[in-house]
Structure 1
Amino acid sequence: MPTMHLPSAAGCTLHDAGHTWDAIRVPRSVGLSSMAILGARCGAVVDDPLSPALYFFVPLGTADAWDVQNTRALTVGSTVTIPPPRRTDGPGPHWRMCPGDDRWLTDPDALRAAIADALGPAREGRKN
């Protein structure tokens, strides 16, 4: 099935996940901390203030084994709103980290570790 590209009035397009990449939806506050932890290892990231969430792009197949609490893996059957190139401010979805020719994807193991580090202090105070 081809990737869907439906334009919106704001210039954003919907793209199907699970064809050339999967995506990981992370709550905005955790995602921002994860980006800081990842630093230069961070790939492209979409900030959707309406959700509010950040979307990290990861290699195809990552969603099959993704099991990180409070996040959601997106693959076939899910779409991600992609902003126009270089839109780094809202309103609406925008790039928190713009993609480059070699910087679309974040390593899933590095992302998993960054999310765990970002959630670390909150986890310690929680009771199961």
Structure 2
Amino acid sequence: MPRSAGLDALGILGRRSGAVLEDPLNAALYFFIPRGAAVDWDVDGTRVLGEDDHLVVPPDRRTQGPGPHWRICPAPDAWTTDPAALQAALQDAVSTRVGHSR
């Protein structure tokens, strides 16, 4: 997802977020959701990566650029974000952003 929307969603999710990867080159944030949870995913401005997509995953210790780094480091039991919570946070973030642009 675009970095700006992802940061807004992350602010809404707070501690409910799992690991989040930031890619400054593409101005994108990547949230991890359980396998198969994106079957009905339909959030404007976001894209689900599939089995044929590639993502550079940095070492756990990399929390700054340059290059891809962890915005939220992965924890053994907290890699994923609840997809319903993420979808709601993104929709709230987008609606807030639209409301501010008027």
TM tier relative to shorter chain = over 0.9
* Aligned twin of 1:119: 94
* Aligned twin of 1:41: 16
TM-score (norm 1): 0.74
Q: 4+ residue stretches of structure 1 with deviation over 6 A?
A: none
* Aligned twin of 1:101: 76
The answer to whether the 8 Å contact 2:38/2:83 transfers is no
Identity %: 53
The structure whose residues are more often helix, as a share, is 2
Q: How far 1:102 moved relative to its partner?
A: 1.0
Q: How far 1:95 moved relative to its partner?
A: 0.1
* Aligned twin of 2:35: 60
TM-score (norm 2): 0.92
Q: How far 1:69 moved relative to its partner?
A: 0.4
* Aligned twin of 1:70: 45
* Structure number with larger C-alpha Rg: 1
Distance across 1 between alignment mates of 2:14 and 2:83: 14
* Aligned twin of 1:29: 4
Distance across 1 between alignment mates of 2:100 and 2:7: 21
Distance across 1 between alignment mates of 2:73 and 2:31: 11
- Aligned-pair Cα RMSD in Å: 1.4
Q: How far 1:124 moved relative to its partner?
A: 4.5
The structure whose residues are more often strand, as a share, is 1
